[in-house]
Amino acid sequence: MSNKEIIDQGRECVMNTYSRFPVTLVRGEGSRVWDADGKEYLDFVSGLAVNSLGHCHPRVVEAIQRQAETLLHCSNLYWIEPQVKLARMLVENSVFDKVFFANSGAEANEGAIKLARKYAKLKSGPEKFEIITMKQSFHGRTLATLTATGQEKFHKGFEPLPAGFKYVPFNDLDALKKAISRQTCAVMLEPIQGEGGVNVADPVYLRGVKNLCQEQGLLLIFDEVQCGMGRTGKLFAYEHYGVEPDIMTLAKALGGGVPIGALLAKEEVARAFQPGDHASTFGGNPLACAAGVAAFSALLEEDLVSNAEKVGDYFLGKLEALKERFPFVKEVRGKGLLLGMELTVPGGPVVSYCLEKGLLINCANNYVLRFLPPLNISRQEVDQVTSILEEALMHLEEKNGM
């Protein structure tokens, strides 16, 4: 079927919850994808940071094929080797001791909220339940995680929202201090906000948050669903800051393209969960965990974290040069290959122009062009992207008479 035929059929039977582009992607290989009409695109969205190894990485594909022929699903009533292997890899490469597997980032964050409340009630009493999160954050679409998300646009239409969440400005330690009450049990944040517009935590601020949590007996939760797994040029974003959270969540890149999320915690905190407190039928599924083991192995053994840092710096420099060229580029920011370019005008037309020229990019918060390419991209591919982007910005400049 063609792009149009698939889209027309989809509009008849798929629920209308996404603003989709008029393209049907049917195949992917490395950093390239092809639509149903045969057009090729350079993918700098990567499934919103899911395809960090590029599309259909051979090691992930081989692991899925092998696991699918062996054991496709197994209840968590029993142990399975791929789940234990992936948990061990996460523990051995992080500051955490225990792992719980979920299906998505939202589900991992839901688990983090439950764990923080359970731990606080056991340690400090039943009045401890409040979690402070940051404005412009994004933690998911379930009812609790959209409430944790510090953006009103995600709340509208879903009230009444669950109680126990409070929001403060990101990178504002004084505001956080003032917001803490006797009911507060945890602070939850993304070291680098993705959906909120690629906002990077200041190192002094993040260390201040850690100190404040220690002084007040609060848990510190890092949502690394998007910024974890090598995306920022470190394996985990907390490594940039020398700050160890008590709980961390992962998802997007963890399965190399297969849905999986994870909740990691230090031993003392993890002990708060006992059998029956939390569960997930599909969480830690053999297929997803086998893919996760292969993806994690490739990430470490193919030096992709280092590549994200080096090529990310190169890409950042290219974007900075465009900022000097176009006055309506307000700021360029980010770390590794999680980069944003904030405009003073809406970025939608730039995204559409790039799509027409065979480049997939994304716009967060209406004004921030967000770049999330695979971690194994080359400098030549960055050159190709910035060339198209420059054309798009010139087109925008001419169209708006700027």
- Residue 22 pLDDT level (bands cut at 50, 70, 90): very high
Check the annotation: does 69 bind a ligand. no
Instruction: Specify the pTM.
Output: 0.96
Q: pLDDT band for position 401 (50/70/90)? A: confident
| pLDDT (0 to 100) of residue 38 | 97
Whether the pLDDT of residue 160 is over 90: the answer is yes
Architecture of domain 58-302: 3-Layer(aba) Sandwich (3.40)
> Is the pLDDT score of 172 beyond 80?
yes
Say whether 399 is catalytic.
no
Q: What is the pLDDT of residues 82-138, one digit of tens each?
A: 999 999 999 999 999 999 999 999 999 999 999 999 999 999 999 999 999 999 999
Contact 98, 91 (CB under 8 A): yes
Q: Is 328 a catalytic residue?
A: no
Listed in order, the ranges of the chain carrying CATH 3.90.1150.10 are 3-56+303-400
The verdict on whether residue 127 carries a ligand-binding annotation is no
| 216 annotated as belonging to a binding site for a ligand | no
Residue 106 assigned ligand-binding role:
yes
Confidence at residue 402, expressed as pLDDT on a 0 to 100 scale: 75
Query: Is residue 281 marked as binding?
Result: yes
Catalytic residue among 44, 101, 138, 236: 138
In this structure, the strands spanning 184-189 and 130-134 are: parallel
Q: Where in the chain is the domain with CATH 3.40.640.10?
A: 58-302
Q: Which of 118, 128, 234, 252 is catalytic?
A: 252
Contacts of 107 (CB under 8 A, 6+ apart): 140, 142, 261, 280, 283
The reply, when asked if residue 226 is annotated as ligand binding, is yes
Kindly give the pairing relationship between strand 261-265 and strand 247-250.
Answer: antiparallel
210 is catalytic: no
Q: What's the gap between Cα 146 and its chain centre? A: 15
What's the rounded Cα separation, in Å, for the pair 135 and 112? 19
- The residue annotated as part of the active site, out of 128, 165, 170, 223, is 223
| 105 annotated to a ligand binding site | yes
Residues 349-378, mean pLDDT to the nearest whole number: 96
Per CATH, domain 3-56+303-400 is 3.30.870.10: no
Given pLDDT bands bounded at 50, 70 and 90, which one contains residue 27? Answer: very high
The HSE-up count of residue 382 (CA atoms within 13 Å, CB side) is: 23
